[in-house]
Amino acid sequence: QVQLVESGGGSVQAGGSLRLSCEASGYIYSSNCLGWFRQAPGKEREGVATIYTYRGSAVYADSVKGRFTISQDNAKNTVYLQMNSLKPEDTAMYYCAAADYGRRCSLGFNEYNFWGQGTQVTVSS
């Protein structure tokens, strides 16, 4: 079973930056893709970005395209989410999730079967 631990969340002003980290147990290639999702109070969980672990290609939500970048360090079994030009609407709990091989690497959360506990991101102004 894959275990995921997120870190790097915090409170920043609008226009600022944060880098989230997701450390996965075992080998990062054990999962087809690793994605970032977020959920604000009273809102639906939404996909932010996902990366194919073997290919290194990524998919982004339109709302973060051009501002966020997902990347991976296979040696460290870690996936990152670099968030620039943050907006108040980016405020949410951010979760890392893994999808097994055979599942689609989409931004739909039902495709992912392993989840971290989340890290809070708060953007003021």
Paired tokens of 50: 């996902």
Backbone φ and ψ for 88, nearest 5 degrees, come out as -55, -35
- Partners of 78 in the β-ladder: 23, 73
Query: What number is the average pLDDT over the span 82-95?
Result: 98
Residue-wise pLDDT for 33-72, tens only, equals 999 999 999 999 999 999 999 989 999 999 999 999 999 9
Half-sphere exposure of 24 (CA within 13 A, CB side): 29
* SS3 (DSSP) at 87: coil
The most distant pair of C-alpha atoms in the chain lies apart, rounded to whole Å, by 42
Name which residue leads in pLDDT, 103 or 121.
121
Measured in Å, how far apart are the chain's first and last C-alpha atoms? 40
Position 95 pLDDT exceeds 80: yes
